[in-house]
Structure 1
Amino acid sequence: MQAAATPTNHPPAIPEVGGQAQRLFQCSTCKSSFTRADHLTRHVRAHTKSKPYVCHVCSKGFARIDLLKRHVTNHDSESANKRQKREIARDTRVIQACGPCSQSHLRCEDEKPCSRCKKKNIPCQVPEENAPDENDIHEIDALHAAHDLLDLSNGFDYPSSLPAQAESINPSTTSDTPEPFNHLPFQSTATAINMHPPSVRSDGRDMKMADLNQMQPPSNPTIAMNQNYAEDPAASLSFFDASISNFNDTPGHNPFLPDYFRNMPPLEAFLSGQATPRGIMDLSFDLDVGLTEFDLGLLDQYNFQVPFAADTPPTESVEQNIPDSDSVPARTEAFKQSIWRYLPQRNRDHGGAEQVNLAFSDSENRRSHITQRRVIVEKLPRVSRDRLMALVLGTCSPENVKRIASAFPSIELLDGLIQYFLTSPSLDAQSLFHLPTFSPSKLSPELLACIVSAGAVAVPDLPLRKLGFALQEASRIGQSKVFEEDNTSIRDLQHVRNLFLQLRVGMWSGISRKMEIAESFLQPLLTMLRRGGRFRRSTWKEISPSVDDQSPSLENKWLDWVQQESYLRLVYRAFELDRQSSMALLKPPLVSYSEMQLPLPSSNILWHAKSAATWKSAYVNNTMPTRKPSAIECFLDLEHLAQHDHASMTYLYMIWGTIWEYRQMSALTVRSQIKTNNSLILSSRYQELTKQLEDFRVNSPPMSKSAEITLELMLVHLNAPLDDIQLFAGIEGQEEARCAYSTLRDWVKSVAARQALWHAGQILRAAEMLPKALLCNFNAIAVYHAGLILWGYGFLRRSVATDWSQTEASQTAIVLNGDDALNARRFITLDRGIPSIRTLGSQDHTHLSDVSGIMDGLIHLLRVHHDAVEPSPPLVVNLVQLLEGLRSATK
């Protein structure tokens, strides 16, 4: 159907040469040519920064008349008072910003140099304008063509023409029918370009001005379109059909996309690393990045009304509800001095600061601290001591080399520290190193340095500990060089074992810098094990002696078994370190329990066999199952607990992954608005985890006190938000303490809080029975976490329940670190009784309402396990100082 009437207003014809419009108007500055004089005028204003259209209200200049009209319209909609405020608040825009201010997107000044460059003492230079290249002229023309389409679509009077357009296009539209874009106060340039995209040729390239002029719409497209629509609706779309008919119909190509998007490499190229998306959005357009061509005056009106009119609850009322809010700064200061806050300082806190401790004054009195407990016959050879000294000197600064070389520890002291390392119960080195085949002469210098370091750190002597930490730093730097020089060393047992020992020494050092480095570098160790296939069962071979095996084949098979078993035990020790650091530092575990498919280590009887013949005899006489279950099989079947030596601790470390997941879901549910479904899931999960831990307690063989502490600490985490309690204690400041209080205020009244109290008391009970040398490292942090539970409950309950102290005399005292399970169950389920802690070494007990007394008991527990004449480990010293800070802040 043909249109009854055709548009009569046509633009003047432009002379064409060879099918293209002539560019008769050329810029004298950059030699760019245009087909229309108004395009040239607009282009010249970009060079001269001319703004001839000035607002009569605020004297703001514009380069285009339509922008001025829109700006004046915004003035008409404002009240006089708000307009005055906006005019006062608005600063005039500078002519051109200097280079530093432009790069930082900051306000500059007309006077150069500006005040910001003067203050920072940097050169204040205005970048020179460069004329566009010939390659950029076509892209500039494409931008001007987009502006032309914007002007034609808006009719140079957008606010008034758009409603009329909507009514005339569809006269039957009622007031209930939404009109397109009528709710917007103005239409941005980007929106207009998207609505009217630049046309493209059939070959996919942007069309030039000559192509656009061939299908240029009438001078007033709104009237023409309305007339066409009234007479023939189909003809009104002929203009758009003509423009789309030239598009490339190739599937997968959008004709409205510019060249730099259509010519991009496929997604697979980016995923494979063949292409780098660099400079995609660099269009080389000569745009005014100062936004002087856009009227953003409406934003001023919005800023004065919307964001600051919202009603926000005052913070003063929240602060009044926090008990003892004045003590939060004091508690925060206590955490700032603790191991949990590492604040690096330039030229002070670095590895080189410990090098002076490598020059050690050896003496007989110093060696007396090392108990003579020789477990291997071989002594440290002199050549190994020389290699160790060469390693240390290679990591030291030149000014310290001479001093360290003249006062390096003697062979006797180094050999004694090796023996101390192998026999120290806190290090448990005999479960990692095979003593019958251990030879100091075969150790790499890096591993030897770390072994001496671990032994020196465990000795209760301050100069020896300083020596140990300095050797650990030298070993860490030397090991990194080995990994860089020879990449095959990441699969070597000695080097990977050395990395593990470095991380273990640093993790429990009590020095915030070393602890943070160890936490960071635990991931590379686990990555080496994972990429080496050490978590897969197929990596490990079945090596077992047969009845017919004789020397030397039996000897070779035994040595192969020792090598593989050493690596297997290293993986489990790394898994243990990952789990202990996760519980201690309240961070996510790095190894998933689902990937632990490797078999359990062999029994200790086979491991401690002193020769190949003894190993064969122990293997033949072994009554345990020959096939070792994997860690996952041990986790799924509790029958393995009584059959294998390492099954109990493996089960505990495996279940910690599920407890951590539960704590994360619980933390999200507390902050969620929809709690019904989540609470049902969490309740079911909580009951399942509690049952699993209780079943483990029943089926497990008698556990050591360290294993009991680990079990009770997991039950504490299951019932208490330890991260929120630590926030309330002030580790992140007063604002975070305020946020945590709202959660803990409800938790302290729950059954889970009383359950966590009981398990915290059981941690203290197991810690009291530990040998003196074992209340350190992870066990010491477990005592600190138990103290946080007791402190938080006592402090919050004292402030929430005002009559708690009055009812103490009428109720029975529940000793949390005792064994009265019946009264404890009554307290947990019915909240009957007053929780208290029995004083170490006596029958007296302290109620939790006496927060200072509880903290005194914890401090005494940590200190009594170390002699008064000997210094406590640095980690224990830092924990004691933190508990003292909490005690003094909450008296």
Structure 2
Amino acid sequence: MQEPVSASEYGASRQDSQESIEDARLAAATSLSSLTTWAAANRPPLPTPDPTLMSTETPSVAGLTGILSQAAPSPLAAPSMNTWNSTVDTAAQASDNFAAWLFESPGSQYDDFNIANMPFLDFGLEYSPKDVWNLEDYASTSEPPGSVANHATPSSLRDNAAIGTPIRGVSEERRAAVLRLLSHFLTKQRNRVYAASDQTRLLYNPDAQNFPNLSVGVLDRFVANYWANVDQQMSVVHQPTFSPNSCNVLLLVTIIMLGAADMVKQKPKGLLEDHQEFSEVIATQLRWEIFTDPEAQPPVQLWAAQALLLLEYYEKQWSSRKLHERAHIHHASTLTLLRRGSPLIGRSDSESPTSGMPTRCASPTGEELPGKPTGSSLDSWWVHWVRNESFNRVVFTAFQIDTLHALMYGHGADMAPYEIRLPLPCDDSLWRADSAEEVHRLDANLKMYGIRPINFLDGLKRCLHAHDVQTHAPARMLLMAGLLSVGWHMSRREKHLQFLETVPSVREQGRWRSMLLQAFGHWRQSFDDAVGPRKSRSSAAKTTDANAPTVLFHLAHLTMHADIIDIQIFSGTKRLLGRKVSDKDFLNVFQRMKAWQPTPIARHAVLHSFKLLAAVMMNRPGKNGANDASNMQPFISYSSRNDPMMYRPWGVYLASLVIWAYQRASSLHLSGPYTQQHLIEGQDERELCCRYLTAFSNIDDPARVLAMLSVSGCAAILSVVSQDLANGEPELFEEAAKRLQSCRETLLTGTSGR
């Protein structure tokens, strides 16, 4: 067994880190740059890591080039020195240039990476060169005369309702359009039986046409609930200029679907089954309706991109296993729609569909406002700005989903960071402002404090090198997604090289891992310094804001040091990612887990798993000044059912699995019987779970993990998390709950789990 690694090996002071960075750049030899060709992904045996993986050295630029290019849809083009095979060499050169630019220090003035050298096919997500951010730019970027009248006129909308409520209520005419679409969906699902005779259910339709329980008031409540809860987690639709009566009906139905589904989570399980049924009917047919709409063809309209992303969010997070897998299959289709036609570059007249409606309209209310004057130039500028910012947020949301779901579910990451050449999304105060004047005033205030738009790639590079990036909290979360994407692509590159039997040296692997670990730590510290801890945890939303960076930080460490696919197979799952897990697969994973358990990275993953669970599940009275009762003890208060964050519930599940896998693999190394104290009958598992998590949350040295393991403590964690997930609505949560219960039985009985 290797020597334990102290906490100091996982981090160092900034000064020492910078010195080691310079030393590594001078000393490291290039070992990966010549291996730019890669094969299809296979899952080779995971090599046993070495303590040097935690080296504080930073990878050389030459040693890391070529790693990030493998997700690109086409080779990169750059000038070649070899005339005999220019096609291959130009691709390798441009690939090397991007990786070199990313890993070179921000102050190094590395100039070889140039967007102008990138080929045509890599421009799918590039931003318009005339970025409409400043009011001063309006004269050069405003739309042709006469086009503004067809757009949403923000000044005509802002007085109808306050922010946080629908701008307009759903009209009877729009309700009829929604019900016609719903009736159409039901006719396509004749194989499904609904309790249509129950007059209390939403889908009650006595004449097969009308739905008396889906009144205008009910639809308004669904829309209002979407803005109050769902939009806070995935804000891709601009609320101040949104009108339910003039937006595309498919986008409105998507919003209604999510609003109804969110209401289900607010009530005890089983109380609003008809709301869940209503959402499932819409989701089942909605994707086909969007894909077959003429305006969803490339170059895609804004409403279609928004609807597809919102639908994927529902399918993956709130629905059945079948729809979850369908979302995984069609995720690449959504990304392709965004790439084709470059959605953030204006169209020529020949590209525009003949709908008579602007193709980049955030809220096309032209039909509602015949003869309406075009309004002031400030309002026209705002419409143009909203249109560009909406597409900006669509692209970043797609990237965030792509990266986080690759880490959480083992899906492939289809987007590479270098594809996104956009400024980070604007501050939420600008996005939610209800007038052009308010946007202009807030923008001026931000600039007065030195806060200006930051390019995503520039911010990512600074983040990777542990430099401060002055931006708002949601943009910081996107930068963390960028770091996770870099780590995912580099790990995948290593697997490709292993398949070719050209495994990078353990030292070389350790260098880039060390750089990312340092970047994770600095990101977390800078987030806390800039945003600060929340003063109150009195509401779910505030709790979400308070520990969101903490959860993402620990999840990053967890997934970087533990193979979640192997761990799920080790737990005894029969099918994974649509594939049957054979006995041979299980035996191979069994050996890899035995090799993983004694390593420093295993202890690192387990410690961060404990800290993630403690941060999410435990309520500590008085910790943030909210309660002065010092005699009150911590207690378990988390409920995944009420959690709006898309990655936190599954992160809790993965953390529990990692702890179990380490505990289980540790028992395999013992020659005698496993004699640790087992769970006592009648013992309060929630109290035991809380004590166990408290003990681990107070340590920072991974070397102490093995000595503190407890069978009864691990069993208590599995029981508490399993019961909580079983109370959720998504089918994946129910499957996860059963898997954790099976792991608990395996731990207590010593069986294999297969």
Q: Give TM-score, length-normalised by structure 1.
A: 0.50
What's the CA shift string for 1:163-215, capped at 9, x where partnerless?
A: xxxxxxxxxxxxxxxxxxxxxxxxxxxxxxxxxxxxxxxxxxxxxxxxxxxxx
**Which of residues 595, 604, 615 in structure 2 aligns to 1:766?**
615
Distance 2:388 2:177 in 1: 27
**Which of residues 492, 510, 528 in structure 2 aligns to 1:664?**
492
Q: Does 1:757 align with 2:606?
A: yes
Q: Does 1:599 align with 2:423?
A: yes
Q: Does 1:569 align with 2:393?
A: yes
**Which of residues 241, 253, 257 in structure 2 aligns to 1:449?**
253
**Which of residues 539, 550, 557 in structure 2 aligns to 1:708?**
550
Q: Give the structure 2 partner of residue 852 of structure 1.
A: 715
Question: Alpha-carbon deviation of 1:715?
Answer: 0.4
Q: Does 1:375 align with 2:184?
A: no
Question: Alpha-carbon deviation of 1:395?
Answer: 3.9
Q: Go from structure 1 to structure 2 and tell me whether the alpha carbon gap of 1:822 and 1:498 turns closer, same or farther (over 3 Å shift).
A: closer
Q: Go from structure 1 to structure 2 and tell me whether the alpha carbon gap of 1:486 and 1:530 turns closer, same or farther (over 3 Å shift).
A: closer
**Which of residues 200, 217, 222 in structure 2 aligns to 1:417?**
222
1:638-657 alignment runs, 5 A limit = 638=463, 639=467, 641-657=469-485
Native 8 Å contact 2:459 2:469 kept in 1: yes
Distance 1:710 1:793 in 2: 21
Q: Give the structure 2 partner of residue 678 of structure 1.
A: 505
1:606-617 alignment runs, 5 A limit = 606-617=430-441
1:69-80 alignment runs, 5 A limit = none
Q: Give the structure 2 partner of residue 184 of structure 1.
A: none
Question: Alpha-carbon deviation of 1:434?
Answer: 2.1
Native 8 Å contact 2:300 2:343 kept in 1: no
Distance 1:650 1:454 in 2: 23
**Which of residues 795, 799, 814 in structure 1 aligns to 2:668?**
799
Q: State the secondary structure of the residue aligned to 1:621.
A: helix
Native 8 Å contact 1:848 1:854 kept in 2: no
What amino acid maps onto 2:187 in structure 1?
A: S
Distance 1:428 1:437 in 2: 17
User: Whose RCO is larger (CA < 8 A, sep 6+)?
Assistant: 2
Residues paired across the two proteins, number: 485
Native 8 Å contact 2:718 2:744 kept in 1: yes
Q: Go from structure 1 to structure 2 and tell me whether the alpha carbon gap of 1:853 and 1:375 turns closer, same or farther (over 3 Å shift).
A: same
Distance 1:674 1:433 in 2: 47
Distance 1:476 1:434 in 2: 22
Q: Does 1:464 align with 2:275?
A: yes
Q: Give the structure 1 partner of residue 177 of structure 2.
A: 387
Q: State the secondary structure of the residue aligned to 2:292.
A: helix
Distance 1:552 1:629 in 2: 29
What amino acid maps onto 2:649 in structure 1?
A: A
Distance 2:280 2:428 in 1: 31
Distance 2:453 2:347 in 1: 13
Q: Give the structure 2 partner of residue 560 of structure 1.
A: 384
Distance 2:552 2:237 in 1: 24
Distance 1:501 1:834 in 2: 43
Question: Alpha-carbon deviation of 1:381?
Answer: 0.5
Native 8 Å contact 1:719 1:752 kept in 2: yes
Q: State the secondary structure of the residue aligned to 1:532.
A: coil
Question: Alpha-carbon deviation of 1:635?
Answer: 0.8
Q: Give the structure 2 partner of residue 502 of structure 1.
A: 311
Distance 2:715 2:695 in 1: 24
1:486-497 alignment runs, 5 A limit = 486=295, 490-497=299-306
Distance 1:526 1:674 in 2: 32
Native 8 Å contact 1:578 1:591 kept in 2: yes
**Which of residues 747, 764, 769 in structure 1 aligns to 2:596?**
747
Q: Give the structure 2 partner of residue 217 of structure 1.
A: none
Distance 2:561 2:376 in 1: 57
**Which of residues 234, 238, 243 in structure 2 aligns to 1:434?**
238
1:9-28 alignment runs, 5 A limit = none
What amino acid maps onto 2:586 in structure 1?
A: A
**Which of residues 582, 605, 610 in structure 1 aligns to 2:406?**
582
Question: Alpha-carbon deviation of 1:778?
Answer: 2.4
Q: Does 1:833 align with 2:637?
A: no
Q: Give the structure 1 partner of residue 654 of structure 2.
A: 785
Question: Pairwise CA RMSD of aligned residues?
Answer: 3.5
Question: Alpha-carbon deviation of 1:745?
Answer: 0.7
Question: Alpha-carbon deviation of 1:437?
Answer: 1.4
Q: Go from structure 1 to structure 2 and tell me whether the alpha carbon gap of 1:713 and 1:374 turns closer, same or farther (over 3 Å shift).
A: closer
Q: Give the structure 1 partner of residue 453 of structure 2.
A: 628
Mean Cα deviation higher: 386-395 or 579-588 = 386-395
Distance 1:784 1:857 in 2: 11
Distance 1:814 1:888 in 2: 20
Native 8 Å contact 1:529 1:571 kept in 2: yes
Distance 2:379 2:259 in 1: 31
1:53-68 alignment runs, 5 A limit = none
Native 8 Å contact 1:391 1:474 kept in 2: no
**Which of residues 824, 834, 848 in structure 1 aligns to 2:700?**
824
What amino acid maps onto 1:475 in structure 2?
A: L
Q: Go from structure 1 to structure 2 and tell me whether the alpha carbon gap of 1:781 and 1:830 turns closer, same or farther (over 3 Å shift).
A: closer
What's the CA shift string for 1:601-643, capped at 9, x where partnerless?
A: 1111211211122222212222344641211111111455333
Q: Go from structure 1 to structure 2 and tell me whether the alpha carbon gap of 1:861 and 1:373 turns closer, same or farther (over 3 Å shift).
A: farther
Question: Alpha-carbon deviation of 1:564?
Answer: 1.4
Native 8 Å contact 1:808 1:834 kept in 2: no
Q: Give TM-score, length-normalised by structure 2.
A: 0.59
Q: Give the structure 2 partner of residue 717 of structure 1.
A: 559
Distance 1:832 1:471 in 2: 49
Q: Give the structure 2 partner of residue 149 of structure 1.
A: none
Distance 2:744 2:410 in 1: 22
Q: Go from structure 1 to structure 2 and tell me whether the alpha carbon gap of 1:716 and 1:704 turns closer, same or farther (over 3 Å shift).
A: same
Question: Alpha-carbon deviation of 1:476?
Answer: 1.9
Q: State the secondary structure of the residue aligned to 2:647.
A: helix
Q: Does 1:697 align with 2:524?
A: yes
Distance 1:803 1:457 in 2: 51
Native 8 Å contact 1:537 1:597 kept in 2: no
Distance 1:695 1:689 in 2: 10
Q: Go from structure 1 to structure 2 and tell me whether the alpha carbon gap of 1:776 and 1:692 turns closer, same or farther (over 3 Å shift).
A: closer
Native 8 Å contact 1:855 1:883 kept in 2: yes
Q: Which runs of 5+ in 2 are unaligned?
A: 1-161, 191-204, 265-271, 349-359, 361-373, 533-544, 574-580, 619-637, 679-688, 750-754
Native 8 Å contact 2:236 2:306 kept in 1: no
Q: Does 1:882 align with 2:707?
A: no
Native 8 Å contact 2:299 2:342 kept in 1: no
Q: Give the structure 2 partner of residue 353 of structure 1.
A: none
What's the CA shift string for 1:26-58, capped at 9, x where partnerless?
A: xxxxxxxxxxxxxxxxxxxxxxxxxxxxxxxxx
What amino acid maps onto 1:561 in structure 2?
A: W
Q: Go from structure 1 to structure 2 and tell me whether the alpha carbon gap of 1:481 and 1:755 turns closer, same or farther (over 3 Å shift).
A: same
What amino acid maps onto 2:604 in structure 1?
A: Q
Native 8 Å contact 2:290 2:296 kept in 1: no
Question: Alpha-carbon deviation of 1:420?
Answer: 0.9
Q: Go from structure 1 to structure 2 and tell me whether the alpha carbon gap of 1:456 and 1:707 turns closer, same or farther (over 3 Å shift).
A: same
Question: Alpha-carbon deviation of 1:495?
Answer: 1.4
Question: Alpha-carbon deviation of 1:713?
Answer: 1.0
Question: Alpha-carbon deviation of 1:857?
Answer: 2.8
1:226-237 alignment runs, 5 A limit = none
Question: Alpha-carbon deviation of 1:850?
Answer: 5.8
**Which of residues 287, 306, 321 in structure 2 aligns to 1:476?**
287
Q: Go from structure 1 to structure 2 and tell me whether the alpha carbon gap of 1:615 and 1:664 turns closer, same or farther (over 3 Å shift).
A: closer
Q: Go from structure 1 to structure 2 and tell me whether the alpha carbon gap of 1:788 and 1:403 turns closer, same or farther (over 3 Å shift).
A: farther
Q: Go from structure 1 to structure 2 and tell me whether the alpha carbon gap of 1:853 and 1:672 turns closer, same or farther (over 3 Å shift).
A: farther
Native 8 Å contact 1:725 1:792 kept in 2: yes
